[in-house]
């Protein structure tokens, strides 16, 4: 049974295994591809994480200050 027929492995893995099995460079190139994909994914997620944390901080600030503003309006 060939790896490309299984469907469990990533597309590129079967090609890497076929091309570099005899040279012993499977792990090097696969590691480089995984590092590239993880760095790309993390650089794409950074702005989303910053926006998400900003929303959380904003909600906490509103939850803290809204009762104070309501209380100050009740004294007038």
What average pLDDT does the segment 19-38 reach? 72
- Residues near 59 by Cβ (< 8 Å), separated by ≥ 6? none
Give the pLDDT confidence score for residue 1 in this predicted structure: 44
Q: pTM of the entire structure?
A: 0.53
To the nearest 10 degrees (0 to 180), the angle between helices 26-74 and 11-20 is 150
| Comparison of pLDDT for 33 and 48, the residue scoring more | 48
What average pLDDT does the segment 34-52 reach? 91
What average pLDDT does the segment 37-56 reach? 93
């Amino acid at each position: 049974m060939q790896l490309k027929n299984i469907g469990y492995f990533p597309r590129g893995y079967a090609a890497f295994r076929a091309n570099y099995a005899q040279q012993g460079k499977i792990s090097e190139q696969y590691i480089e591809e995984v590092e590239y994909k993880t760095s790309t994914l993390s650089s794409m997620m950074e702005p989303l994480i910053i926006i998400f944390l900003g929303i959380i901080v904003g909600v906490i600030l509103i939850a803290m200050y809204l009762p104070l503003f309501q209380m100050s309006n009740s004294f007038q």
